[in-house]
Amino acid sequence: MTMNPSFSPGVLSVLPLFYVGWSDSVLSPSEIQLIHEKLKSLEFLSDEDKAYLIKYTDPKNPPSKEVFQSWIRMLRKASKELNQKEKSSLTKIGLTMAKSSISHKPESLFESPKTQAAIEELENALGVEGVGSLQLLLNAVEDPENESPNLSFDSNQLCDFLDGDQKEIRDRIRQLLRDPFFKYEYIADKEKYREKTLHQLKALAEQGLGAYAFPTEFGGKNDVRGSIAVFEGLAYNDNSLTIKYGVQMGLFGGAVNALGTQKHQEKYVDDLAHARLLGCFAMTETNHGSNVKGLQTTATYNPADKTITINTPTENDSKEYIGNALHSEMAAVFAQLYVGEDCHGVHCILVRLRDKKGQLQDGIRVKDNGYKMGLNGVDNGKIWFDNVVVPVGNLLNRYGNITEQGTYESPIPNPNKRFFTMLGALVAGRVSVGLAGVSCAKTALTIAIRYALKRKQFNGNNPQDEVLIMDYPTHQKRLMPLLAKTYAYHFALNALADRYANAQEEDIRKIETDAAGLKAMASWHCTKTIQECREACGGKGYLAENRFTNLKGDSDIFTTFEGDNTVLLQLVAKGALTEFRQSFHNDGALAVLRFLGERVSNTIAEFNPVTTRNTSYDHLTDRDFHREAFRYRYRKLLLSVSSRMNDYLKKKISPFDAFSKCQEHMLELAKAYTDRYVLFEFRTAIEKCEDPSLKAILNKVCDLFALSVIEEEKGWFLENDFMEGSKTKAIRRVVSKICKELRPELRGLIDAFGIPEEVIGAPIAMR
């Protein structure tokens, strides 16, 4: 074997001592004195060696990071080639290294017992003797994580860029979650877990973290954007807390604040934001989850005493999965509002469930939903109302009011529009859940990639040297496109949160569509990513201590709550179709011509063999190509669904049946719509980045995102003649190539998520 020529045999012989000395010990001046004397007396060291070594015994002048890394690289390289016996002491390692570095001359100074004794004396002088320091050395040299990552960018800077405007809040949450009080632990017993989660919720609220979203005049901070960032930040840690926080502040608090009027805000907001008043959001019923319009619970106005009676008609119409049901004092109950003969559709009414002591009120029945796949720190339950009477003032009456005269009035006369306006006020939930999914994916990837940067399996070309699993191409292909997508959803959802926080009324409809699509796609991405990460960590991934158990179980329901993903994507497609028709309607014939014109240019592209067959790396990583592919897919699906729908309707098929027949097609459209949005927002974010090194790395991640999506959808692109087989094959190769290019940057890309060590938690991910 040949050694690194930049170290002389003499230096090599004592390098292990110096490395450990600098890693592990603080040297006193008298020890340093002793070391200098020893060094001078070692006859196998050249003067140059001595000068080099003495230089690095000065505590005021420690080796630079680069020098230290060069020692590590040397030691790591040597360590791989040493047998067990040669590794039994620091002195032996040094001597073996020294001997190996001398290519000629069979007998050497470094084999004499005298030399060995001299180095051992030095070892004592340095105070690094013993098994502990040996272990330290071996760990370090066997742990490539300590290797300088040679990143092309500064991961702290990237972290700042990801944090954006919300950096202060995000840092505040990070700091808070570092506190042992919030430390992740697996708690099997749901009662204990719920107790703990409740305490944590109260602690968060006491810190003022519940108040972000609410108006300042009622004790809040008037910072909706901040409240979303809080939720996103909590989701790195224990999601029972995240969800309980979301139920209390976002759903219950959101209902009171957005659906109620000033009197409700004055009465409740300060208390609920500080968790002095616990509440729940009683919307979903056992048989009505996605179909909120079909809720069965009734709220009947009684003109005689100006009250409202809340009633659950049959056993099966109970509210279900209601978070906070077992701890709440109050519920925001969604029910069909009857005034006189008329039903005015779903409205929200505050109903007291328990008194201040926690005693259930008459007519209220609550049943624990029991253990769940995850989120067992959240107390979900069923609630029945047996003709419970509340004052009419409990009606959250911003969008529908009962007057003093006992008549119903609303600023939005159209019941359908009213219904969607009420639900629209709660769209923050979808943005937040999407972001929580991204946070879970980030945590999972951080754990799996850190593990893959340590864990070795199977021998490579050198039989002594097992290969890091992160260096296997299949492992890269499993994890890295998921990492790229996680970046993409991060930017897209944060952009959406910004838009939401600054929205005017006329923007809300579009934001709802985008939020529905992103929540669906991001939550599926989360489920898929955690699953892949779990499997990528093998048996270790299966142990609860390594976090996937809870990450997976907790986030699994993200695909269902705040709207079932499949149902949401139907909404997205309907939104896209409506917008498409309106654009014709508003702009008239010109718009049609324009659209058709664009279509024609696509049609040309379809049959342009130069484009469909272009397999050059430059073309495939050209952002115009990506944009064009995403746009083409969206537009072509939009046109084809639209014309199918038109055909059905012309044939007098009912809209319900027509939508039914197009369901799958609409799912595809909704995915294409959302993918296009995500790519757009990712690119827009990169545009804003001023640092060239960050811009470069983000562009590469974005390329990987875009090409991964195209690769997944290659069947569609080929089917629709947008590309030929030679091109999709080339894309597969480019995806693998980009993975390889990004491989040395991986550590930085996960560090940039800024998840505190204490929050990552998993032993397999520890440095």
Which residues are catalytically annotated?
A: 562
Contact with a second copy (CB under 8 A) among 486, 565, 612, 614: 565
Q: What is the DSSP string of 578-633?
A: HHHHHHHHHHTHHHHHHHHHHHHHHHHHHH-HHHHH---HHHHT-HHHHHHHHHHH
Q: Under rule CB under 8 A, which residues in 297-326 are in contact with a second copy?
A: 313, 320-321
718 lines the binding site for a second copy (CB under 8 A): yes
Is the Cβ of residue 224 or residue 723 nearer to a second copy in the bound state? 723
> Please, what is the minimum distance in Å from the beta carbon of residue 726 to a second copy?
8
289 lines the binding site for a second copy (CB under 8 A): yes
Is the Cβ of residue 13 or residue 79 nearer to a second copy in the bound state? 79
43 lines the binding site for a second copy (CB under 8 A): no
CA pair distance 266, 217, nearest whole angstrom: 8
499 lines the binding site for a second copy (CB under 8 A): no
Q: For residue 234, with 0-12 CB atoms within 10 Å meaning exposed, 13-18 middle and 19 or more buried, which class applies? A: buried
Contact 268, 205 (CB under 8 A): no
Name 335's bridge partners. 347
Contact with a second copy (CB under 8 A) among 566, 611, 693, 699: 566
Q: Under rule CB under 8 A, which residues in 326-385 are in contact with a second copy?
A: 369-374, 376
Contact 468, 455 (CB under 8 A): yes
The phi, psi pair for 376, rounded to 5°, reads -75, -5
The phi, psi pair for 530, rounded to 5°, reads -65, -40
Q: For a second copy, how many residues bind (rule: CB under 8 A)?
A: 78
CA pair distance 616, 700, nearest whole angstrom: 16
Is the Cβ of residue 362 or residue 719 nearer to a second copy in the bound state? 719
Is the Cβ of residue 291 or residue 646 nearer to a second copy in the bound state? 291
157 lines the binding site for a second copy (CB under 8 A): no
Give the chain's end-to-end CA distance (angstroms, integer). 30
545 lines the binding site for a second copy (CB under 8 A): yes
> Please, what is the minimum distance in Å from the beta carbon of residue 75 to a second copy?
18
Contact with a second copy (CB under 8 A) among 84, 103, 504, 586: 84
> Please, what is the minimum distance in Å from the beta carbon of residue 535 to a second copy?
5
Per DSSP, the three-state class of 642 is: helix
552 lines the binding site for a second copy (CB under 8 A): yes
Q: b/e for 107-145, b at 16 or more Cβ within 10 A?
A: ebbbeeeebbebbbebbebbbbbeeebbebbbebbeebe
208 lines the binding site for a second copy (CB under 8 A): no
Show the binding pattern over residues 512-541: x = contacts a second copy (CB under 8 A), - = does not: ---------------x---x--xx--xx-x
221 lines the binding site for a second copy (CB under 8 A): no
Task: Of 281, 504, 267, 563, give the one whose Cα is nearest residue 391.
Answer: 267
Q: Under rule CB under 8 A, which residues in 663-702 are in contact with a second copy?
A: 663-664, 667
611 lines the binding site for a second copy (CB under 8 A): no
Task: Of 177, 256, 253, give the one whose Cα is nearest residue 210.
Answer: 253
50 lines the binding site for a second copy (CB under 8 A): no
Q: What is the DSSP string of 60-124?
A: TSPPPHHHHHHHHHHHHHHHHH--TGGGSSHHHHHHHHHHHT--S-SS-GGGSHHHHHHHHHHHH
Is the Cβ of residue 237 or residue 527 nearer to a second copy in the bound state? 527
Rounded to a whole number of angstroms, the CA Rg of the chain reads: 32
649 lines the binding site for a second copy (CB under 8 A): no
Per DSSP, the three-state class of 502 is: coil
Contact with a second copy (CB under 8 A) among 548, 630, 648, 677: 548
Is the Cβ of residue 157 or residue 736 nearer to a second copy in the bound state? 736
> Please, what is the minimum distance in Å from the beta carbon of residue 525 to a second copy?
14
Q: Under rule CB under 8 A, which residues in 426-485 are in contact with a second copy?
A: 455-461, 466, 472-475, 477-478
